Amino acid sequence: MKLDSKQARLILIGGLGFSAVVFFAITFLGLSVLSSKSRSLVDLKAQSQTASDQLVNLVQSKKDVEKYSYFKTIAKTVIPNDKNQAAAVVEINQMANASGISIQSITFPASTLGPGLSTSTTGPSAAASSTPSVLTQAKPVAGIPGLYSLELTITPDSGKDVASSQQVTYPKMLDFLKRIESNRHTAQISQVSIQPAGDGQSLSFTLVINIFIKP
């Protein structure tokens, strides 16, 4: 079949139009695929960054756990769990001696266990005794479950019969109070009563403190 010039021109125009349509279709499809791949790449980068941040945080958390692990040990020793009053008596006498004071008596509250159970101790020799159950004399601390406080009344030796090196003076009393407040057993002073001694130079005082116990 012989084509004239008009028919050949129409065929060429139709071929060019079809080629243009195919070109634009391929271009659109290619751009769509590229856009999808680009979004996927952005998501993967974001996930990678998140994972990297989490890894850094995990490493830092492990370092922090190792760094502050000793706080657990400290927390266990801050509040004693022993129930022996003798330990507190010994410590109080040691603090008094370090401050240059002699202790006359350390008195505990009355026990609810019944008659025949002594709850008062006198002097350093009291450290040799222990009580059946300190919780019968202790009070629960409000707001802290499982924590109890036990009240002690401390009276130092005073008067003419006490050696001059053991006489209570104001600086000695202050030093003793500081030692009481910094001790993990006797961390709270609830009452202090001070009276001048008979010689007019020394002091006499009555000190009420709380021992904290966590059975």
pLDDT for res 86: 72
pLDDT for res 84: 55
Record the pTM: 0.51
Token reading at 105: 């008596």
Rounded Cα distance, 212 and 28, in Å: 79
pLDDT for res 176: 92
pLDDT for res 163: 85
Q: Residue 201's Cα: distance from chain center in Å? A: 45
Residue 27: Cβ-neighbour burial (10 angstroms; 0-12, 13-18, 19+)? exposed
Rounded Cα distance, 95 and 106, in Å: 13
Measure the CA dihedral 17/18/23/24, to 10°. Answer: 70
Token reading at 5: 């010039």
Rounded to the nearest 5°, which phi and psi values hold at 81?
-110, 10
pLDDT for res 134: 54
pLDDT for res 127: 38
Q: Please list the alpha-helical segments (H only) found in the chain.
A: 5-67, 70-78, 85-98, 170-182
For the chain, 215 residues long, give each residue's pLDDT as a single digit of tens.
566 677 777 777 888 888 888 888 888 888 888 888 888 888 888 888 888 888 888 888 777 767 666 555 544 444 555 555 677 788 889 999 999 998 888 887 765 544 433 344 444 444 334 333 556 677 888 887 878 888 889 999 887 788 888 888 889 999 999 998 888 766 678 888 888 866 667 788 899 988 877 76
